[in-house]
Structure 1
Amino acid sequence: MHSSFRTPAWFYFALAFAITWVFWLFPILASHGILQLGQTAQLACLFAGSFGPFVSAFIAVYRDGGGPAVREFAGRSLRYRMGPMYFLAAMLLAPVAAGLSMVWLASHGGPPFAFGVALSHFPLLYVELFFFGGSVNEEFGWAYAIDRLGERQHLLRAAAVLGVIWGCWHIPLFFITGLTQSFLPFWAFLIFTIALRVVIVWGYASNRKSILVALLFHTASNFAFNLFAVVDRTPKHDERGFIGFGLIMLVIASWVALSARCYRQAPPDSVAAID
């Protein structure tokens, strides 16, 4: 099977991780008192590092096909035509899953069910998260990654592998005091990233590789963390809300994996062999 990729996959992943982890190293050192770094500088490093996948993807795409490839790749973020089912899933699946987890938690000794954001703040918060909360920073990179991983293996397996890689990409954040990941068990976070990535890839692959769909899914996921207190930052450190969130997403991802057309198709190598 002929490949349109000239950049080795390992180069993309190595570059994405290197850019991110180098920038994130400074807040880690500051968090543990090894380096003196102001709060603004730490946030700047965190924000710059989050663009590792984005920058690496465009470097790889340019190496693969020059300017035309870059324009085609960037243009996928404007592919707004998607089925109503995919749009609703992208906007609602993660928030509903988080809400169900918090309803369960409230009935099992947790805090009363409540929204953490006023309804009037929903639009602005969503826009902020879309552009500055990790969606744009990451999803161009993970779109390139799934194209590479899905080139020679079954798409479902590629999505699960990317979910693991995505989870591991966040590892430095677990060592920075006060960040969301520092309150979470890594195993549960990994379940969450695998499940969410399977769902995101379903939307992406089912809509002509629309990066916009992936951006919407990612933003809604981050929105859910703001909408509900699934991460307990109190001294009680109750992890059940997030674990429940992750498990509900896993159930959703399992259903998608079993029913989605894109995941029932034969692996690329099998198609090539038939041809």
Structure 2
Amino acid sequence: MHSSFRTPAWFYFALAFGIAWVAWLFPALASRGVLQLGQGTQLICLFAGSFGPFVGAFLAVYRDGGWAAVREFAGRSLRYRMGLIYFLSAVLLVPVAAGLAMAWLASHGGPPFAIAVSLSHLPLLYLELFLLGGSVNEEFGWSYAIDRLEQKYSLLPAAALLGVIWGCWHIPLFFIAGLTQSFMPFWAFLIFTVAFRIVIVWGYASTRKSILIALLFHTASNLTFNLYTVVDRSPQRDERGFIGLALIMLAVSLLVAMTARCYRRAASNVIETLQ
């Protein structure tokens, strides 16, 4: 697999960041009053920018091996055979972690524990988030990225580094008024992205590099921010809910890092190489 890479890794990362940051610059400037942009135009810029990793990955894969490589790479999004533990983790882990954080918050002076979406709306909301909410836009790209980083680093450091890169990719969104990120502390967001990426890569590496499981993890995470008011958008800006979620995910990622076969195997390979 690794020998098939012909495109420099920087080419992918330059496209993933360049497309996103250039597109997001306009709504960022508009939210600071530097530009006049309509709401619709801002949404188009935000949506277009989110496809930076997707475009970067497919262009890099095409450069690596032509249409045959593109078909193989895209086909990994259809690898639905995965163990029950991976599927349940992908669908339930982040919602359950957020539920615990919000239950704790409710018992410590926060709002009463509540689910903000009716059960009847969940299937359609999940489908919308899967197709348009960031999962498809990003996870093909981050799957390609972990394959590239794994060339240079052992799997766990590669996953942690990708978590940092993933978090930093979102930086312009923190400067756009009204977006979810603008209500989050960046340090907690970075903890969340590193911890969550370690978990996603565990699922990805354990299911024959199924991009589908990465898509499921990402969608469940986005769904969580609709299920609960994890991010407080009120003037009080109570950040404890999101910080609690980030810390719970950090604990989960440490457990996964210490026990997952894919990480242990990668670490033992490094030790054998050093010997």
TM-score, normalised to structure 2, is 0.97
- Counterparts of 1:29 and 1:117, CA distance in 2: 32
Question: Do the aligned residues in 2 keep the contact of 1:154 with 1:268 (CA within 8 Å)?
Answer: no
1:225 pairs with 2:225: yes
Alignment partner of 1:118 is 2:122: no
What secondary structure sits across from 2:230 in the alignment?
A: coil
Q: Which runs of 5+ in 1 are unaligned?
A: none
**Whole-angstrom CA distance in 1 between matches of 2:239 and 2:270:** 43
Q: CA separation in 1, counterparts of 2:2 and 2:244?
A: 43
Q: Structure 2 matches for 1:75-224, cutoff 5 A?
A: 75-224=75-224
Deviation per residue, 1:49-73 (Å, 9 max, x gap): 0000000000000111111100000
State the identity as a percent. Answer: 76
Q: Give the direction of change, closer, same or farther, for the CA distance of 1:38–1:268 in structure 2 (3 Å limit).
A: farther
Q: CA deviation at 1:268?
A: 9.7
Report the equivalent of 2:62.
62
Give, as a single letter, the amino acid of the residue that structure 2 aligns with 1:192.
F
The residue type paired with residue 212 of structure 2 is: L
Separation (CA, whole Å) in 1 of partners of 2:2 and 2:194: 29
Runs of 4+ in structure 1 displaced over 6 angstroms? none
Contact 1:162 1:194 in 2 (8 A): yes
Once the 2 structures are TM-superposed, how far is the Cα of residue 2 of structure 1 from its aligned partner? 6.5
Instruction: Measure the CA separation in 1 of the matches of 2:151 and 2:104.
Output: 40
Residue identity in the other structure for 2:7: T
CA distance in 2, matches of 1:3, 1:269: 18
SS of 2:103 mapped into structure 1: helix
| Matched positions, count | 274
Which residue type is aligned with residue 48 of structure 1?
Answer: A
Cα offsets for 1:207-234 (capped at 9, x unmatched): 0000000000000000010000000000
Please tell me whether residue 254 in structure 1 is matched to residue 250 in structure 2. Answer: no
TM-score under structure 1 length normalisation: 0.97
Kindly provide the amino acid, as one letter, of the partner of residue 80 in structure 1. Y
In structure 2, the CA distance between the partners of 1:131 and 1:2, relative to structure 1 (3 Å rule), is closer
- Contact 2:154 2:270 (C-alpha < 8 Å) held by counterparts: no
- Equivalent position SS for 1:151: helix
Distance in structure 2 (CA, Å) of the matches to 1:261 and 1:59: 32
SS of residue matched to 1:99:
helix
CA distance in 2, matches of 1:273, 1:103: 46
In structure 2, runs of 5+ residues without a counterpart are none
User: How many Å separate the matches in 1 of 2:11 and 2:56?
Assistant: 9
* Paired residue type of 2:53: P
